[in-house]
A and B are shown apart, each in its own frame.
Chain A
Amino acid sequence: MSNENNRKTWKQTWSYREGTIVTAAILLLGFALQAAGGGMVLRVAAFPWNLVAGLVFLAFLIIAFILWQKNPIIKWLGGVKAALPAILGFTFLVLLMGFVKQDVEPKSTLVKLLGLTHLVKTWPFILINLYLMILLGIVTLRRLTPFSLKNAGFFLNHFGLFLVLFSTALGSSDMQRLRMNCYEDQTEWRAVDTSGKTVELPVAIKLLNFNIDEFRPKVTIIDNQSGQIVLNKGKNQFELLDRNSLDLFGYHVEVEQFLESSGKVGDAYFPVNEPGSAPSAKVKVTKDGIEISGWVCSGSYVNQPEALKLNEAHSLVMLPAEPRKFSSELDIQTKSGKQVTKTIEVNRPFKIDGWTIYQLSYNTEMGRWSNLSVLELVRDPWLPVVYFGIFLMMAGAAFLFITGKPKNGGTEHVA
């Protein structure tokens, strides 16, 4: 250690000191460039330039390694003493993202100049990513030559992460995320991108049917004065109407009749199935021997909700039902001549001609009577590379799990 302390900076062999200086310089340069550019949002060039840049980078990395693999700087770049400060530098940026809310309007000029509200699209982030990729690339190449099965876990972890960083950075500008509003029985082929621009697609979609499957509504007790839900510490604030008798805040509620879809005629509710009809229930509520009975209804965009006044203090109300599942039956036609009818729902997207169609939302005010289904269309041509990287990392994690820590520190290169 004393040798290290007496060594002059930049004199070989390099250590953490140089690692820290290089990482700090990269961050400072990044923030300086960002400020010089007025805090603008950066984008990587789109296809084919990102692919060209990626291939040039790979070629440069491999050639540099082959030519100078004995060079102490290349050796240092492939070691922990460069890697640790770089990881910490990257972590520093991500920590900033953890504290400063992202993708909002910057509150001060400094925040705007440094790009703190959109850090992933700034110079410091891109530069430190590039630096990490160089380190990961070199260390991967170092462990590959000579090839040894003992290094499999190491290779999977480091090359997997390299591929994920590489493909997400280069692919970010080729990715399209569009939002499409589909109304029932209408064909739509236009969608809006994240910046609000309308895009015409090679896919036309007709919404045949939008369907919501709802949970039973919940009931709760509100305070008549404030209109707020009565706090019921440690006990349920509300109960799902999935059974005929329940207890809530000392009240015993018996459900005499439950109508999934109903309308009010006179003083009572009857089964009705037309737009805007809402769930309702006839209940009998008892507390301290006093019995009250009547209807509660959650209401809808057409009908008023109905509460049941229990006494001077409290009323029983029914909350709007929550969706269990919502789905859209779509008729999809592509420019390439394909035509399919397919039902999509949340967590069950559908892929066609490089586009993935997601169920995103609907008109929540109209609830299950919504005639609007909001879809998201995503195209991400780099996804197979990202997934390949993710699977390598998973295999690497499995290696860590099976082999555990390499014995004797760095002498056995297992992971």
Chain B
Amino acid sequence: MEGLNMWLDFPIYASVAILCWLAASGLFLSSGKKLMNQMAAGFSFAGTAVLLVFIAILWMHIQRPPMRTLGETRLWYAIFLSGIGLVSYLRWKYKWIVSYSLGLAMVFLIINLQHPETYDKTLMPALQSPWFIPHVIVYIFAYAMLGASSLVALRNLFFAPTEKIVKGPIQMADNLVYLGFSFLTFGLLFGALWAKDAWGHYWTWDPKETWAFITWMFYLVYIHYRFRHPSEHKRAMTILAVSFAILLICWFGVNYLPSAQNSVHVYSE
């Protein structure tokens, strides 16, 4: 592997993953036969596995956890999102959730293909902590759960004209939000405990912290609204869709905000 730029191989892995996922989506949409569905699930899993192999090799090559740059977090996101789509299908039997989450995962892979990453083996001392991996993984997993829930929301808002079609999926959205929110809380609190060790204070209203907190508050609003108004589906789904937009600002947008010029979280790209 001497002298090999790992990310140069990325288009190969990404293309194989995308082809697998296209095949999976096609099979799911084409027929209702059991064998076809099983094959689709297999293809979906194969695509995720290919990316897992890539990230494992990348990790070994750069000798640090590949969780520092935006491109690296997008890669984890594609892996988690495709996995969550598949598990949701196996659990709730809605085929469209797989196609939707594979679609979103492919978007993230394509963004990575358009913005080729380079690797940097150096890792600043503040990031060298046992908290680094749990903090990032828990967060990206939460983002993937909440991303999947917002796909449900968008479907319910735009493609499901009757309340009856909405009702089943909305329970799935709730479950995804509850799981995602618990991970979001863990990620936030892990970050606070880590910050205490690294910077002397658990909360400094760093712009990323501020936006992470805003994101957390929006999902809090969704949970409380659903709790009190279980049958007002449209408004709940709108809250969920807006919350995901806030989440995306927290993840990517913060880098472009003037208020965030000196944030410790503005990842190099």
Contacts and interface: CB of A to CB of B under 8 A. Distances in A.
Interface stretch (B29-37, B78-86, B124-132, B151-159): B124-132
Interface stretch (B12-20, B103-111, B216-224): B216-224
Interface stretch (B45-53, B93-101, B161-169, B206-214): B206-214
Given A324-B122, A325-B125, A394-B186, A401 B224 contact: no
B200 A237 contact: no
A396 B223 CA distance: 14
Range, interface on chain A: 35 or more
Contact of B3 (A88, A245, A345, A348): A245
B192 A99 contact: no
B217 A246 contact: no
Interface in B185-229: 185-186, 189, 192-193, 196-203, 205, 207, 210-211, 213-214, 217-218, 220-221, 224-229
A346 B181 CA distance: 30
Interface string A234-247: 11110010110111
B255 to A, nearest CB: 13
B126 A346 contact: yes
Nearest to A376: B200
A98 B125 CA distance: 27
A68 interface: no
A14 B183 CA distance: 34
A95 B3 contact: no
A349 interface: yes
Contacts of A247: 3
Contacts of B178: 400-401, 404-405, 415
A376 B196 CA distance: 12
A43 interface: no
A234 B205 contact: no
Contacts of A80: 224-225, 227-228
Interface stretch (A24-32, A54-62, A292-300, A406-414): A406-414
Nearest to B185: A397
A305 B122 CA distance: 21
A170 B196 CA distance: 18
A102 B8 CA distance: 40
Contacts of B116: 233-235
A100 interface: yes
Contact of B182 (A95, A245, A398): A398
A190 interface: no
Nearest to A378: B200
A393 interface: yes
A90 interface: yes
A98 B207 contact: yes
B136 to A, nearest CB: 15
Nearest to B228: A80
Contacts of B5: 235-236
A196 B189 CA distance: 31
Contacts of B123: 324
B119 A405 contact: no
Given A215-B122, A386-B202, A390-B192, A84 B179 contact: no
Nearest to A402: B182
Interface in A81-134: 81, 83-84, 87-88, 90-91, 94-95, 97-102, 120
B3 A409 contact: no
B182 A84 contact: no
Q: Is the interface of B mostly helix, strand, loop or mixed?
A: helix
B234 to A, nearest CB: 14
Contacts of A400: 178-179, 181-182, 185
Nearest to B206: A102
A356 interface: yes
Contacts of A349: 197, 200
A410 B199 CA distance: 41
B122 A322 contact: yes
Contact of A91 (B129, B205, B214, B227): B214
Contact of A237 (B118, B217, B231): B118
B161 to A, nearest CB: 22
B38 interface: no
Given A236-B5, A246-B3, A347 B182 contact: no
Given A100-B259, A401-B179, A358 B200 contact: yes
Interface string A66-89: 000000000000011101100110
Contacts of B196: 383
B31 to A, nearest CB: 32
A104 to B, nearest CB: 9
B197 A101 contact: no
A326 interface: yes
A90 B185 contact: no
B60 interface: no
B121 A215 contact: yes
Contacts of A401: 178-179, 182-183
A409 B228 contact: yes
Nearest to A391: B189
A177 interface: yes
B221 A97 contact: no
Contacts of B186: 394, 397
B159 to A, nearest CB: 23
A323 interface: yes
Interface in A328-359: 345-349, 356, 358
B238 interface: no
Contacts of B177: 405
Interface of B: 2-3, 5, 8, 116, 118-119, 121-126, 128-129, 171, 174-175, 177-179, 181-183, 185-186, 189, 192-193, 196-203, 205, 207, 210-211, 213-214, 217-218, 220-221, 224-231, 257-259, 261
Interface of A: 79-81, 83-84, 87-88, 90-91, 94-95, 97-102, 120, 168, 175, 177, 215, 218, 233-237, 240, 242-243, 245-247, 322-326, 345-349, 356, 358, 360, 376, 378, 380, 383, 386, 390, 393-394, 396-398, 400-401, 404-406, 408-410, 415
8 contacts: A94-B214, A97-B259, A99-B257, A100-B259, A177-B201, A347-B125, A383-B196, A398-B182
Per CB-CB distance, the 7 closest pairs between chain A and chain B, nearest first, are: A409-B230, A234-B116, A346-B125, A397-B185, A80-B228, A400-B182, A401-B182
